[in-house]
Amino acid sequence: MASTSSFTEGASVFGGQANLVQAIDTIFTVYDPDVIAVHTTCLSETIGDDIPQIARKAEAEGKIPKGKFVIHANTPSYVGSHVTGFANMTKAMVSYFSASNGKRSEQINIIPGYVEPSDMEEIRRIAGELGVRTVIFPDTSNVLNRPQTGRFEMYPKGGVTVSALTSTGESKATVALGRTASWPAARALDVKCNVHCELLELPIGLKATDLFIDTLRTVAGVSVPDSINIERGRLLDIITDMHQYFYHKKVGLVGDPDQLISLAEFLVSIDMWPIHVVTGSPGKKFESRIREITSEIPHEVNVKAGGDMFLFHQWIKNDPVDLMMGNTYLKYMARDEDIPFIRFGFPILDRIGHSYFPTVGYMGGARLLEKILDALLDRKDRDSPEESFELVM
């Protein structure tokens, strides 16, 4: 649920304190949430509104009921990107809630990053198969992909609880999936509560999932069960069967940095060539990591952090690809240039159901490969002359 503090000309001059205090009072009175998460806007940031001070004022005036919370993150649109704002709010969850009593519990924190609720669910399932007790935050599973029950629920029984967030300061370790979206919160938790943190890439594909599972195995002191090994073997078998169709196919990628890094690594591992890679989020580390991943590709690779669709389109025109992967906005370019297109990442606005199907883990990797192969073979069927239009590939 989202509300607004409704800035007007007066708030622009005198600040948003009165509006925010009123909004806090209204939200708790009408909707009765446990937590209100305040994110700022360009105008509020430019004015210099002090959100913690405003929250203290609201609490002093009795606008925040006992046992309820108001947290905040600074999210001006002129700093970083939407992923930066996501990372700031994830870090705020640590700053406001994480606490330590000096003891360590046998649980692992997992910060899954800017991914689908289905991905968060799959990460939890994998940890469960390993027998690892986890706290996953943020967690949109069973909230953004909740089942249809026929009854309206203002607050579905999913996500992470305040008590679970508080306990993250007592966890054995933190596993952060993605440098851009998850690492700031993991470092903040380490500084605040001395919880050891491990930085990994999103577990998309074989290698990244192997590392994720091995890290959980090591920090939790558990063994990998046969159920996980079977899933890995199936993905390996699929790669073996499909490899001939992927070999040296050129790909253009658009999306968020953490997802593109893991995706590019996966594509290179199956001998595809991601030759044009663009993210709207700034960051030189992204560019250097992509160049490292693609260093052995015998083709010029274009990569840009803080780039845009216009730049990507120019690259595609200059050096066409066999496949494009990215968010919904790529559909226009795919039609203009007649290039197969797979929707991947955020936002996916023109298709339904993506929040139910993960792309992380071995099972997610298998699904991703199926989508890639279908797109390539559909194009092959479309362009095949009658004599080579076969039932069996």
Q: What is the pLDDT of residues 73-124, one digit of tens each?
A: 998 888 889 999 999 999 999 999 999 988 999 999 999 999 999 999 999 9
Q: Tokens in use for 196?
A: 């050891």
Question: Is residue 42 over pLDDT 90?
Answer: no
4 lies in some domain: no
The tens digit of pLDDT for each residue in 47-71 reads 888 899 999 999 999 999 999 999 9
183 lies in some domain: yes
* Residue 354: per-residue pLDDT: 87
The tens digit of pLDDT for each residue in 133-151 reads 999 999 999 998 888 889 9
Rg, C-alpha atoms of the chain: 23
391 lies in some domain: no
269 lies in some domain: yes
Domain stop point among 177, 202, 226: 226
Residues 350 and 233 in one domain: yes
Residues 381 and 234 in one domain: yes
Residues 265 and 344 in one domain: yes
Q: What is the largest CA-CA distance in the chain?
A: 80
* Residue 2: per-residue pLDDT: 79
Residues 238 and 136 in one domain: no
Residues 376 and 246 in one domain: yes
Domains held by the chain: number:
3
Residue 266's pLDDT band (boundaries 50, 70, 90)?
very high
Residues 168 and 313 in one domain: no
The three-state DSSP-derived secondary structure of the chain is CCCCCCCCHHHHHHCCHHHHHHHHHHHHHHCCCCEEEEECCHHHHHHCCCHHHHHHHHHHCCCCCCCCEEEEECCCCCCCCHHHHHHHHHHHHHHHHCCCCCCCCCCEEEECCCCCHHHHHHHHHHHHHHCCCEEECCCCCCCCCCCCCCCCCCCCCCCCCHHHHHHHHHCCEEEEECCCCCHHHHHHHHHHHCCCEEEECCCECHHHHHHHHHHHHHHHCCCCCHHHHHHHHHHHHHHHHHHHHHCCCEEEEECCHHHHHHHHHHHHHCCCEEEEEEECCCCHHHHHHHHHHCCCCCCCCEEEECCCHHHHHHHHHHCCCCEEEECCCHHHHHHHHCCCEEECCCCCCCCCCHHHCCCCHHHHHHHHHHHHHHHHHHHHHHHCCHHHCCCCC
Q: Tokens in use for 184?
A: 């700031």
- Pairing of β 323-326 and β 197-200: unpaired
* Residue 60: per-residue pLDDT: 94
87, 184 Cβ separation under 8 angstroms: yes
- CA dihedral of residues 56, 61, 64, 66 (deg, nearest 10): 100
CATH of the domain at 165: 3.40.50.1980
Residues 263 and 375 in one domain: yes
Question: Is residue 5 over pLDDT 80?
Answer: no
Residues 180 and 147 in one domain: yes
Q: Which residues pair with 110 in a beta bridge?
A: 136, 175
Residue 16's pLDDT band (boundaries 50, 70, 90)?
confident
Question: Is residue 10 over pLDDT 70?
Answer: no
* Residue 107: per-residue pLDDT: 96
* Residue 101: per-residue pLDDT: 87
Residues 334 and 296 in one domain: yes
44 lies in some domain: yes
The tens digit of pLDDT for each residue in 21-39 reads 999 999 999 999 999 999 9
* Residue 245: per-residue pLDDT: 96
Range of the domain at 136: 108-226
61 lies in some domain: yes
Residues 26 and 163 in one domain: no
Task: For the full predicted model, state whether its pTM sits above 0.85.
Answer: yes
* Residue 317: per-residue pLDDT: 97
Residues 60 and 185 in one domain: no
The answer, yes or no, to whether the previous bond of 138 is cis (omega within 30 of 0) is yes
Residues 243 and 334 in one domain: yes
- 10 Å Cβ neighbour count for 290? 24
The mean pLDDT of the chain is 93
- Percent of the chain residues past pLDDT 90, beyond the cut: 81
Question: Is residue 253 over pLDDT 70?
Answer: yes
Domain stop point among 180, 204, 226: 226
- 10 Å Cβ neighbour count for 291? 12
251 lies in some domain: yes
99 lies in some domain: no
The tens digit of pLDDT for each residue in 297-316 reads 999 999 999 999 999 999 99
Note every long-range contact of 237-242, with CB atoms under 8 Å and residues 24 or more positions apart, other chains counting.
Answer: 238/366, 238/369, 238/370, 239/206, 239/270, 239/369, 242/270, 242/369, 242/373
Cα separation, 184 vs 101, whole angstroms:
22
Q: Is pLDDT larger for residue 8 or for residue 162?
A: 162
Domain stop point among 62, 79, 96: 79
Note every long-range contact of 16-23, with CB atoms under 8 Å and residues 24 or more positions apart, other chains counting.
Answer: 16/43, 16/44, 16/47, 16/49, 16/54, 17/49, 17/54, 17/57, 20/49, 20/51, 20/54, 20/58, 21/54, 21/57, 21/58, 21/61, 21/63
Q: Quick one: average pLDDT of 156-180?
A: 96
